[in-house]
Amino acid sequence: MGVTTGKKDRCGTVCLKYLLFMFNFLFWLAGGAVMAVGLWTLVKKSDYISLLSSRIYAVSAYILCLAGVIVMVTGVLGCCATFKEKRQLLRVYFVLLMCIFLLEVLAGVLAYIYYQQLSDELKSNLKNTMVNKYKQPEQNHITEAVDKLQQEFKCCGSNSSSDWSDSVWHNNSKASGRVVPDSCCKTLTELCGKRDHPSNIYKVEL
């Protein structure tokens, strides 16, 4: 009877170890995915960072990378702690888990509180950049980023196409009679920005 109970206990312990290992492996994969999103944002969307006076976009991407690394380290530590059964490792593991949980709660609360404020700030910064830096000397990276943004997201201006009427570019000879940049056009052709009819240009979906 005692032998049978001992075998059941060992079997239960082994099953629990493998379950914890699977959990930590999935946790590690999730960390890798989070880090990948952060890196993708920095590499593929880095052009857009130059459009924002606020550093929120870039900082958010770096935070994602850091969070991914922490989660991956926690996952590896959890796997080691599970199989080696060392109390010190388990303590560190659970402390890291608790920190991650608290950070997630904090991030969720801050996102809920500041979402609208951040949204308004980003729109304001984006409009300011478009109005003052598009097609200006030594601002080629801004010009390229704006054109890419409008074509990729099928939009025109920050709030609407009328944003361009206030721009430095629109009010000088560089516009060549254009009302909006050619990148606002649904069908991109030379000087298509002279005609700002809704059938011709993208609109901003608010």
Q: Are residues 112 and 147 in the same domain?
A: no
Query: Which pLDDT belongs to residue 134?
Result: 92
Q: Are residues 90 and 46 in the same domain?
A: yes
Query: Residue 169 phi/psi, 5° resolution?
Result: -60, -45
Q: Are residues 119 and 186 in the same domain?
A: no
In sequence order, what are the residues at sequence separation of 6 or more whose Cβ sits closer than 8 angstroms to the Cβ of residue 21?
A: 79, 82, 83
Mean pLDDT for the stretch of residues 138-155: 89
Domain count, the chain: 2
- Which of these three, 81, 98, 125, is where a domain ends? 125
Q: What is the pLDDT of residues 164-198, one digit of tens each?
A: 998 999 888 778 889 999 999 998 888 899 887 77
Residues 27/71, Cβ–Cβ less than 8 Å: yes
Q: What is the pTM of this model?
A: 0.64
Q: Which of 20-24, 61-65, 94-98, 116-120 has the least mean pLDDT?
A: 116-120
- Which of these three, 82, 107, 125, is where a domain ends? 125
Residue 120 confidence (pLDDT) above 60: yes
